[in-house]
Structure 1
Amino acid sequence: MTQISCALYDNLELAIMHKRSVSIVFNDDRPAFEGRLLDLKVKDSSEYAIAESGEVLLLESVKSITLVP
């Protein structure tokens, strides 16, 4: 299991609390995500973000998280 850094996880939690949109860039070939997140979950030792759109994002290869104005 690859975990994301505490700083990145904290940024996700803050974005969810304040209902802010985020831009998430991944280290692998997945396209960047932009939108609002509703929750963070751990399942089978992997960390996920649940997007407002219903998309489930595996967080193991997050490169950066930016708040969208």
Structure 2
Amino acid sequence: MKSLSNEARIVVPGQLIGAGTVSDILSIDRSTVSRWVASGKLVPLAQLDGARGAFVFDMNDLVKNAEDAS
């Protein structure tokens, strides 16, 4: 798993979610999640190894970003 952040932190496994869950929570298309990651609007916790490299998000970050946006 490739970390996209340089900061050390404790992550609770139950708080980790994938792009599909993020798209459901935000009521956006899954492709929009990928575009937002590419543009920096949404920052994943990490990207998994592999050809497609799925993004992993921390639910706490998503909640914090939503609060900051409002």
**TM-score normalised by L of structure 2:** 0.26
Q: Which has the larger radius of gyration?
A: 2
**TM-score normalised by L of structure 1:** 0.26
Q: Choose between structure 1 and 2: higher strand proportion.
A: 1
